[in-house]
Structure 1
């Protein structure tokens, strides 16, 4: 399934989309089809040149028609493979567009989730800030109470009486 000249890890890596692999296969098919078509055309040209030289030798018509038919079939096969490769390439483009749309949708969902998470974190930070402010007020109040109690204890130690 994978081209022999590319390592399987490359084609199955997450960075390479399936559409890109299909497009690579389509391009390879189109190239092979073009080569086959060229061989068919060359065979036809050789048959034409051969028939011109063989006309003087009166070659059998059957052999000429058979080789011309083979050349035509080879050219036709190449053209069919090229057409299939091009069709597969078109499919790869459509699949690539579909993959891009899915990726965009996934990114939007991730962005929305991230925005939700950020809002939740901001709310938690605000709650923590309020709690910290409340604790700071309690701490300040406790410090003042502590100072008042220290003064009372100090006054009691000095005078032996309560204020």
Structure 2
């Protein structure tokens, strides 16, 4: 992402009033999207739900859950027309910074093995596979495993 585009990306907490925009992106980028109830429950539970906006347009978001000293990245998505521009990296960088500020020692996530673009970003940010959840994701024909990845957060942190 260019420095100019990164400077224009505003990171803001998301609220129930933002759900229509979130759901629109979610339904376009995933064959098996989260439901509105998943997002409502995440906000109600106090999870960190943040969105990236370019001017007034929501271009991506993430959901981060803190569990003791570990953060779990539950969802991170970029609108189709904005993919490949570095917005996902900005969202991930923001989530990691937020996790570190909240006292997390690491960030955990699951990713489909078939999602090469996401895997590349996570590996670039230092995430390493620590396990596999068998049959975790719904798929066209049954289910797909999830790779469990973890990044240790260093105080003051890199990336």
Where on the TM-score scale, by shorter chain, does this alignment land: which range? under 0.3
The structure that is helix-richer by fraction is 1
TM-score with structure 2 length normalisation? 0.24
Higher RCO (CA 8 Å, separation ≥ 6 residues): 1
